[in-house]
Amino acid sequence: MSRDVTVAGGVYHERCLQPEWDHIFGSAGRAAFSIAQLASGRVQLRGYANSRLSDRIAVEAELADVQLDLLGTEQAVTFDYVHTLSIPLISPPPALLKRLPDIKVENSIVIRYGMIESDVVVSANIAVYDPQSAFDAQPFRRNGSSAARLGVVLNRLEMRSITGTDNPRDGANWLFHNDGAEVVVLKMGALGALVLTPDHQQQIPLYESDSVWKLGSGDVFSSTFAGLWAIEGRDPVEAADLASRATAWYCNSRTLPPPTPDGLMSARATPIKPGSGRIYLAAPFFDLGQRWLVEEARLALIDAGADVFSPVHEIGPGKADVVAPADLIGLDGCDVIFAILNGMDPGTVFEVGYARKKGIPIVALAENEKEEDLKMFVGSGTIVAQDFVTAIYKAIWSLPK
């Protein structure tokens, strides 16, 4: 089987405020760098880029032995994130982007990603398709693409957009019957992934990492799966499990490519068992910045599947003899406390101490606090994270199983 591979899709400028990030990747760019070693350096990257983006990515592509075949355009697309779970600000706005001609790709193996300024029409022996669009995802063959063998990797929103349902088996059956898929891999966030074939399905765990860098983690998962299933011919369940391990490695390191399959299997990897329960959100909310962070934390925890007790939302402002007892009753009914220790707000510190006395697990976000000021928290078993997204995931992982 030929090991020549084309990765086609978006090549974009990515920036993040916290933690700081400024790179040229996009889904297709990240995927090409992820699988170059699996394809013995015979990976071609196709997409659109202006001269500035092309020049910046060219140096890394040469080092990774990725062959660039980027079509020229005057517009450069930038994704700006506040943190890696935030909704990005896209520049230029999608409504103002000029629609560019479709990219035609023909190769033995093609990994196709959805893109916002164009589309990719594929002719391949084996193709893996990641739609990369929550609201307007299209079936693989809708634009005239063809493949003798097709794997589809997508999330629940994309499955619903394409098939009309987010039920894993019903959606997969639609893709088998209507899009000619051979295997469907459903990405389910904190619940890991589900590999579905016409006669079987298998749960794939999410693996724990010391820190959590979400920007591009789904691209690493889908491209690693594609490399192992399409290039190496591995069983889809084995390929998806290794892809999950590679994703945990990327979340922890923020570097590419991931280790080889042997390296992934030999590294320490702890599967995450999904938990459930209520998280108490302890944080100050007395100015715009504090309230914004509370809103971000609450929404992120809810999106990850937790029930959240937020004092400002559940109790609101009021007199001390009313608010304090109500807050503590709420804390008593929670399974984990998520504490924002930025600035060491006295009320938040008190709630952490109360939770420690009650034996409730504590996860804290402390971005700029001195090590000495955190000594009692760390020494008494509090999990302390310095970045927002890692703290969110550690809180979710602390829920009772």
pTM here? 0.93
Give CA–CA dist 80/307, Å, rounded. 29
Instruction: For the chain, give the percent of residues with pLDDT over 90.
Output: 89
Name residues whose C-beta falls within 8 Å of residue 142's C-beta, 6 or more positions apart in sequence: none
Is 278-397 a CATH 2.60.40.770 domain?
A: no
In the block, tokens 């990725």 appear at: 66
Residue of 275, 277, 398, 280 whose CA lies nearest to 339: 280
How far from 311 is each of 186, 314, 327, 330, CA to CA, in Å? 35, 5, 6, 8
Mean pLDDT, rounded, for 271-293: 95
Neighbours of 192 (CB within 10 A): 21
| DSSP β-bridge partners for residue 183 | 151
For domain 5-272, give the fold.
UDP-N-acetylmuramoyl-L-alanine:D-glutamate ligase (3.40.1190)
Which structure tokens are listed for 11? 């090549």
Which structure tokens are listed for 174? 């639609």
CATH 3.40.1190.20-classified regions of the chain:
5-272
pLDDT in tens, 202-224: 999 999 999 999 999 999 999 99
pLDDT in tens, 25-77: 999 999 999 998 887 768 999 999 999 999 999 988 988 889 999 999 999 99
Q: Is the dihedral of CA 174, 175, 178, 181 positive or negative?
A: negative
Residue of 312, 310, 311, 286 whose CA lies nearest to 298: 310
CATH 3.40.50.450-classified regions of the chain:
278-397
- Please give the sequence-ordered ranges of beta strands (E in DSSP) within 99-251, or none if there are none: 103-113, 120-130, 146-155, 183-187, 193-197, 200-204, 206-207
Cβ burial, residue 131 (10 Å; 0-12/13-18/19+): buried
Q: What pLDDT, on the 0 to 100 scale, is given for residue 276?
A: 93
Q: What pLDDT, on the 0 to 100 scale, is given for residue 134?
A: 65
Mean pLDDT, rounded, for 262-277: 92
